[in-house]
Amino acid sequence: MKGLGELRRAIEKRGIRMNRRLWITITGAILMSTLTAGGATAKSGSTKKSSFGKGPDGEQVDLYTLSNKNGVEAGISTYGGVVVSLKVPDRTGKVGDVVLGYDSVDGYVNDKSYFGAIIGRYGNRIGHAQFTLDGKAYTLAKNNGENTLHGGLKGFNKAVWAAKEIPAKDGQALELTYLSKDGEEGFPGNLSVRVVYTLTDSNELKIDYSATTDKETIVNLTNHSYFNLAGPGSGDILGHVLMIEADKFTPVDAGLIPTGELRDVSGTPFDFRKPTAIGARIDANDEQIKLGGGYDHNFVLRRKAGEAISLAARVVEAKTGRVLEVWTTEPGVQFYTGNFLDGSVHGKGGISYTKRSAFCLETQHFPDSPNQPKFPSTELKPGERYHTMTIYKFSTEK
């Protein structure tokens, strides 16, 4: 940079006579930017874009790495809008990955576990792959026995999303958009979907989901991250201690479709109102536990009056001291303990993903809502805007 005296002479030569206040403002601004560049003030966040490979039809797939001022990092792929990695500190400050996934896009193209993906048009199951809306019957793709799971044969997890970095007051934000065409997987209406991931400087991954339609439809979006707070490959998650803010859950039948009952959790293995190890009752002699092969159930979240976003769940991992809080505007959360993982899938760094080596907390409307008149509605009409928000917040405990 030129000397300050030289700079002043250059500016004055252009006919701008400077008063003292203007000069102080200019030199102050120069000083601030020099200090920031030199690292004398707090580190700020950044977003980097790199290639993640090619999609199944040769489409370019990108990986965006969002970092905050604390060195927390979130890797997001345009394929499936997947959270590929989430690196957060343990109690000693050591940053490590806490989600399962793959090293490249091919893993996600072949994936059947929905690791880290955006799920749509309908998160979880729709019984018999059908529903009626406004007197009209719709038939969906069947991809889970007789039922539709997570949007059908090609859900939003298999779409390449358009990505754009957008400004955020509280961190680094990435906007993903996708147009789900009228009739896709059997769903009515052109659904225009927008998901914004924000990595905040308070170590939160905030997910804003919104959608509009041109025909009456149903929509239920979520994210399917598999967490292991001790890190993928560190064994099972049975020792993680979980609290869920739910007095009730939705029992299921043999096809994991809710029966319609909202059952009290008291005296059942589903009572997580007090922090309890995930493994404490996971093999209990309980009909619902047996049907799920462990936990694979929707919990009915408590709502505090007047609170737009509420705490849904809190998980603590004792060895690392890592704590995950899940906050959401949604009425439910699917707690799934990776019962279908069987070690046959090899993920990041070649790690084999074994049974119950991760858990999911998928915030959502209840499964099969379109066929359950007593459940909160998942209908969306033209002119309305679907909007939900979920925050995964990380911290540590002694």
As annotated, the active-site residues are 224, 362
Contact status: 340 vs ligand GLA (CB under 6 A):
yes
Q: How many angstroms separate the CA atoms of 239 and 242, rounded?
A: 9
Q: Which of 217, 329, 334, 337 binds ligand GLA (CB under 6 A)?
A: 334
The interface with ligand GLA within residues 137-166 (CB under 6 A) comprises 149
- Write the CA distances from 269 to 70, 287, 290, integer angstroms: 38, 10, 11
Q: Which is nearer to ligand GLA, 23 or 340 (CB)?
A: 340
Residue 149: left (phi > 0), alpha (psi -120 to 50), or beta? beta
Contact status: 99 vs ligand GLA (CB under 6 A):
no
Q: Closest separation between CB of residue 173 and ligand GLA, Å?
A: 27
Burial of 182 (0-12, 13-18, 19+ CB in 10 A): middle
Sign of torsion over alpha carbons 378, 382, 384, 388: positive
Sign of torsion over alpha carbons 21, 22, 24, 25: positive
Contact status: 256 vs ligand GLA (CB under 6 A):
yes
Contact status: 364 vs ligand GLA (CB under 6 A):
no
Contact status: 67 vs ligand GLA (CB under 6 A):
no
Q: Closest separation between CB of residue 287 and ligand GLA, Å?
A: 17
Contact status: 124 vs ligand GLA (CB under 6 A):
yes
Contact status: 172 vs ligand GLA (CB under 6 A):
no
Q: Which of 156, 209, 272, 336 binds ligand GLA (CB under 6 A)?
A: 336
Sign of torsion over alpha carbons 116, 117, 123, 125: negative
**Closest CB to ligand GLA: residue number:** 336
Q: Which is nearer to ligand GLA, 68 or 113 (CB)?
A: 113
Q: Which is nearer to ligand GLA, 86 or 256 (CB)?
A: 256
Residue 142 has phi, psi (to 5 degrees) of -95, 125
Q: Residue 219 contacts by C-beta under 8 Å, 6 or more apart in sequence? A: 120, 121, 122, 191, 211, 213, 378, 380, 386
Q: Which is nearer to ligand GLA, 89 or 101 (CB)?
A: 101
CB 296 within 8 A of CB 256: yes
Q: How far apart are the first and last CA of the chain?
A: 47
Q: Closest separation between CB of residue 31 and ligand GLA, Å?
A: 53
Contact status: 360 vs ligand GLA (CB under 6 A):
yes
Q: Which is nearer to ligand GLA, 113 or 212 (CB)?
A: 113
Q: Which of 52, 79, 102, 114 binds ligand GLA (CB under 6 A)?
A: 114
Q: Can you give the binding site for ligand GLA, defined by CB under 6 A?
A: 113-114, 124, 149, 256, 296, 334, 336, 340, 360, 362
